[in-house]
Structure 1
Amino acid sequence: MPIKPKSKHRLYGSPAPPPRGSGYVREKSRSEYQTYRWHKASRLFREEHPLCAECFRKGIITASKVTDHIIPVPVCDDFWDSGNWQALCESCHNKKAGKDKKTVQNSKRTR
């Protein structure tokens, strides 16, 4: 029985790869989050800071799930500066990430 050839179609929703020779380079800050070093550092930081910093300021006790950069990575020079990290729950991190994204976009426009 003949074998069906593999489809060349990508899964729905997956981004198309950049064309070869386009000069596209993935942001370094984004790729750092995918490293073993970051996963380990983030886990160790959250072990030392088990509560969400933002919720704790409001008097709410919530477990931290994410290590967040206080100053966004595109603005901050040192990705690995643990003094710029804070432990957040997913809800607080998502709110902050949305605000950070707008701030970074606005700062790029004014440059």
Structure 2
Amino acid sequence: MKERPWRRLYNTKAWYRLRAAQLRDEPLCRLCQQMGRVTAAGIADHIIPHKGDEALFYDPGNLQSLCKHCHDSAKQGQEKTGRLPGCGEDGWPLDPGHHWRT
């Protein structure tokens, strides 16, 4: 896999502080909560992929807390397909753009 130049941002003190604050303020996985589960979060995920944009990378409003499972499965799937898989506890799709939600 080709190394992305923005990977260096994840090794900065500013990122470590931002990540710690995110996980302190939102300690549970956001996607699991939407599905009616309670799971500790361990990843501060960028909602909108930053692709090296430092303003977006360090924007605390662009972060959500996820567990490793949701980050590596549902979130990665969403980035590849443009759709968030799964449904919530109420049975409605999690993806706000799903045609059933309109």
TM-score (norm 1): 0.61
Say if 2:61 is the partner of 1:83.
yes
- Residue 57 of structure 2 aligns to a residue in which SS? coil
Residue 12 (structure 2) aligns with: 35
- Residue 56 of structure 2 aligns to a residue in which SS? coil
Structure with the bigger percentage of helix: 2
Cα offset for 1:97?
2.9
Equivalent position to 1:97, from 52, 58, 76: 76
Distance 1:38 1:52 in 2: 19
User: Runs of at least 4 residues of structure 1 off by over 6 A?
Assistant: none
| Distance change in 2, residues 1:64/1:80 (3 Å) | same
Cα offset for 1:93?
0.7
Residue 67 (structure 1) aligns with: 44
Note the residue ranges of structure 2 that are not aligned, 5 or more in a row: 83-102
Note the residue ranges of structure 1 that are not aligned, 5 or more in a row: 1-14, 16-24, 105-111
Q: Which has the larger radius of gyration?
A: 1
Total equivalences in the alignment: 79
Quote the sequence identity (%): 38
Distance 1:71 1:26 in 2: 17
